[in-house]
């Protein structure tokens, strides 16, 4: 009977050790998930900023093209004879 109790006690200790290992693993997975989420948010913010910059550049280019066309029209009035 004493041998059986010892076997059960050893098995219970093994289960407890495995439980602690599993708990540590779950904590690590949660930590990785949090870091991944933070990185995803940073990438999203950078993408939004890049998109806004691209839109601003496009608007500036359109304005510059319009100004160039107007300048060409005005310069064309002064054709040299």
DSSP H or E segment with residue 13 = helix 2-76
DSSP character at residue 80: -
Q: Evaluate if residue 81 carries a pLDDT over 60.
A: no
Q: So where are the chain's domains?
A: 1-81
pLDDT tens digits along 10-34: 888 989 999 999 999 999 999 999 9
d(CA 81, CA 76): 12
pLDDT tens digits along 29-47: 999 999 999 999 999 999 9
Q: How far is CA 57 from CA 24, 46, 48, 63, in A?
A: 49, 16, 14, 10
DSSP character at residue 78: T
Cα-atom radius of gyration of the chain, to the nearest Å? 35
The model's pTM is 0.59
């Amino acid at each position: 009977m004493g041998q059986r109790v010892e076997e059960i006690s050893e098995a219970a200790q093994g289960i407890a050790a495995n439980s602690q290992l599993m708990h540590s693993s779950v904590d690590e997975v949660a930590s990785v998930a949090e870091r991944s989420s933070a990185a995803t948010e940073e990438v999203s913010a950078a993408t939004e900023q890049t998109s806004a910059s691209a839109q601003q550049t496009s608007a500036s280019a359109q304005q510059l093209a319009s100004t160039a066309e107007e300048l060409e029209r005005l310069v064309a009035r002064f054709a040299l004879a």
